[in-house]
Amino acid sequence: MHISSVTSRKSLQRILGSSRSYLGAYNVTGRFLSNGPKFAVKAKRSDLTVLSASAVVALAVFQYKEYSRTKLELSAEETTTTLLNWSGTHVVQVDNNRYWEPETVQEVEDIVRSCHKRGQPVRPIGSALSPNGIAFHQNGMMSMANLDRILQVDVKNQRVTAQAGARVSQVVDALRPYHLTLPNLASIAEQQMGGFIQVGAHGTGRSIAPVDHYVTEIKLVTPAKGTITLTKDDGELFELAKVGLGCLGVVVEVTMECVPAHRLVEHTFVLTREEAVTRLQELLTEHKHMRYMWIPYTDSVVVVTNDPEDQVKEIPKLKKISEDERFAPLRDLMLELSNEWPEPYTKESLQSIGFGELRDALLAIDPLGIKHVKRCNEAEAEFWKRSEGYQVRPSDELLQFDCGGQQWVWEVCFPTGTQEKSSGNDMDFMTELLAGIEREEIPAHSPIEQRWSASSSSLMSPAYGPKDGLHSWVGIINYLPSEDEGQRRDISELFTGRYCNLMRNVGQAVSATSHWAKLERPKSMWQLVDTQLFLQTRFPLRLFNEARDIYDPKNILGNDLLNLVVGKPGTK
């Protein structure tokens, strides 16, 4: 069996360059280290070589558990490919004769045509970053990783055209020499462009829409109608296809608006809950980008704002706090808790562990113990208080941030007034959610992230709405901090059960709908019925499924999750 991410072997060889010979005889593991993404190549002996290079950054985020292919494994005995999503929450095994890695649009067309004729599923997959594994289908998948060319940078009209398999970070790098960048980024930039728009990824900023809104042209290979190119002139079909969930056709090319490259001034500081509520409108209005990170069981809300450097008159000079002082709350807690272990942590051993890794290590001790989680959250709150300050960097660097390790996450979106003025239900939502967590003593890990966006013009976007609309996005999280299967199972049960049920109940009053990449399969028949009825009121599913019936009548592009919650092609 071949265990892999969605990056093809050929893509791995291209990225690794001179290290390609390692692929046959070495186990390759991608992970985040304390000072950024690195790629570790572990020999079958005990030696370990760490390659630190931007060329392999994509591999780090895929969180490979293993990529081992010896010459023997490359024989005919290897018949399946196993794919794991970045969160480590979903896995799928596909027969190799039903897993394709095309390198050209022509090959995509040939594969889709053949599969349509036979009724063979062929779900397109990007970087497998979606927490719910929305691109997975055990009966057939097509990796877009090899279609990764940047086709055109139109400086005059400020647009870029890229193949669907190009990573967002590649596009940003290609735009840099032209002093352009993308209008916004999600929390990470290793998505492929196709998946980036198809699931409605978003950043934060009251006047900035989700990324799909900025698409001006999209090329799809459809099962029934061949290859089509859509623009705004195509009306409803174009607006459906931008967030098409991979169901209307295989996206092969995307053209998106760009903006002039710029540097941002980022300010990180901590407010109390009351201050976060009372200052919300001020912060939304005064800053181009703004997000909250609520820390459960504490009176701390981390605020991160970003503004163009040329619009910031003066950057206050703050007293610089050393890294030892910043990390002391977390390191001291770990030293205390590991003191009686056979091999306890030491001050020296903790020096090389970054924030995300250290939080994971602390939580792994007792991730569902309410007292322990409270202590971890309190230590994190103190870390952020000691990390207050400013930094100035290019926008594409600051709009990305560390999402932590493997995790369960669920994010919802709901309308909250206009860009001119929030209706206040965003703060009501958070107040009720936090109260519910504390009342039910849910071991909620930190943070609960809250972001805002303008409306999207895409009909299937969770943020679809009037042009002046404002939408809030709230994401809850529980990390999977160890490889202990029993522990991971217990965390999964808690998160997908009590925790998600709480947010679902809180969200009913504001018509909160799930981010498409984070919508999990309903756990009961009643929950399924509720989900189906709600989505029918929130999205134009009849129109969407009518379009699917035209372009994919045999439903070779869908999967079990989407068939369940949005219906099949032609569903009324």
pLDDT digits (tens, 9 = 90+) for 29-41: 332 322 333 333 3
Cα–Cα distance for residue pair 427/441, rounded to 1 Å: 21
Neighbours of 333 (CB within 10 A): 20
Cα–Cα distance for residue pair 185/205, rounded to 1 Å: 11
**Residue 271: which pLDDT band, with cuts at 50, 70 and 90?**
very high
Nearest-10 crossing angle of helices 323-337, 355-364: 20
Average pLDDT over residues 63-88: 56
CA distances (Å), 393 to each of 172, 205, 296, 384, 490, in order?
14, 18, 30, 20, 40
Cβ pair 144, 166 in contact under 8 A: no
The pTM (predicted TM-score) of the whole model is 0.86
- Asked if omega into 223 is within 30° of 0 (cis), the reply is no
Average pLDDT over residues 181-201: 87
Neighbours of 572 (CB within 10 A): 8
Cα–Cα distance for residue pair 164/218, rounded to 1 Å: 10
Task: Give the containing element (helix H, strand E) for 294.
Answer: strand 289-295
Percent of the chain with pLDDT over 70: 86
Q: Within 13 Å of residue 485, how many CA atoms lie on the same side as its CB?
A: 0
The confidence score (pLDDT) of residue 128 equals 83
pLDDT tens for each residue of 111-134: 999 999 999 999 999 888 787 888
List the end-to-end C-alpha distance of the chain, in Å, as a whole number.
41
Take residue 103 and report the two structure tokens written for it.
């390198």
Q: Which residues of 528-565 are buried (b: 16+ CB within 10 A; e: fewer)?
A: eeebeebbeebbbbeebbebbbebbebbbbbbebbeeb
The confidence score (pLDDT) of residue 326 equals 95
Q: What average pLDDT does the structure give for the chain? A: 86
**Residue 5: which pLDDT band, with cuts at 50, 70 and 90?**
very low
The confidence score (pLDDT) of residue 398 equals 82
3-state DSSP assignment of residue 227: strand
Residue 319 DSSP one-character state: P
Take residue 385 and report the two structure tokens written for it.
């208080």
DSSP string, 510-545: GT-EE-GGG-PPPSSHHHHHHHHHHHHHHS-HHHHH
pLDDT tens for each residue of 287-312: 999 999 999 999 999 999 999 999 99
Percent of the chain with pLDDT over 90: 74
- Long-range CB contacts for residues 236-240, cutoff 8 Å, separation at least 24: 236/459, 236/543, 237/547, 239/457, 239/458, 239/459, 240/458, 240/459, 240/460, 240/540, 240/543, 240/544, 240/547
Take residue 387 and report the two structure tokens written for it.
């990390």
Of the ranges 54-63, 86-95, 262-271, the best mean pLDDT one: 262-271
**Residue 277: which pLDDT band, with cuts at 50, 70 and 90?**
very high
Q: Rg of the chain's alpha carbons, rounded to an integer?
A: 23
Average pLDDT over residues 166-171: 94
Query: Who contacts 177 (Cβ-Cβ below 8 Å, separation ≥6)?
Result: none
The strands making up 2-4's β-sheet, listed across from edge to edge, are 2-4, 80-84, 91-95
Residue 24 has pLDDT above 60, yes or no: no
Cα–Cα distance for residue pair 118/98, rounded to 1 Å: 12
pLDDT tens for each residue of 135-159: 999 999 999 999 999 999 999 999 9
Residue 10 has pLDDT above 70, yes or no: no
Q: Virtual CA dihedral for 436, 425, 380, 403, nearest 10 degrees? A: 110
Of the ranges 25-34, 458-467, 513-522, the best mean pLDDT one: 458-467
Task: Give the containing element (helix H, strand E) for 487.
Answer: helix 485-494
Residue 54 has pLDDT above 60, yes or no: no
Average pLDDT over residues 397-405: 76
Closest CA to 280 of 260, 264, 303: 303
Higher pLDDT, 517 or 35: 517
For the chain, where do the domains classified as CATH 3.40.462.10 start and end? 263-319+388-517
Cα–Cα distance for residue pair 541/312, rounded to 1 Å: 44
Cα–Cα distance for residue pair 301/380, rounded to 1 Å: 11
> In the CATH hierarchy, which fold is given to the domain comprising 263-319+388-517?
Vanillyl-alcohol Oxidase; Chain A, domain 3 (3.40.462)
Cα–Cα distance for residue pair 352/121, rounded to 1 Å: 46
Q: Within 13 Å of residue 211, how many CA atoms lie on the same side as its CB?
A: 26
Closest CA to 86 of 535, 403, 526: 403
Cβ pair 284, 206 in contact under 8 A: yes
Query: Who contacts 341 (Cβ-Cβ below 8 Å, separation ≥6)?
Result: none
Average pLDDT over residues 509-537: 93
Closest CA to 477 of 403, 425, 531: 403
The confidence score (pLDDT) of residue 50 equals 31
Take residue 533 and report the two structure tokens written for it.
């009825």
Cα–Cα distance for residue pair 376/299, rounded to 1 Å: 14
Neighbours of 504 (CB within 10 A): 17
Residue 64 has pLDDT above 80, yes or no: no
- Identity of residue 32: F
Neighbours of 461 (CB within 10 A): 28
Cα–Cα distance for residue pair 207/194, rounded to 1 Å: 24
Cα–Cα distance for residue pair 526/166, rounded to 1 Å: 40
Query: Who contacts 240 (Cβ-Cβ below 8 Å, separation ≥6)?
Result: 248, 458, 459, 460, 540, 543, 544, 547
**Residue 101: which pLDDT band, with cuts at 50, 70 and 90?**
very high
- For residue 474, report the phi and psi dihedrals to the nearest 5 degrees: -125, 130
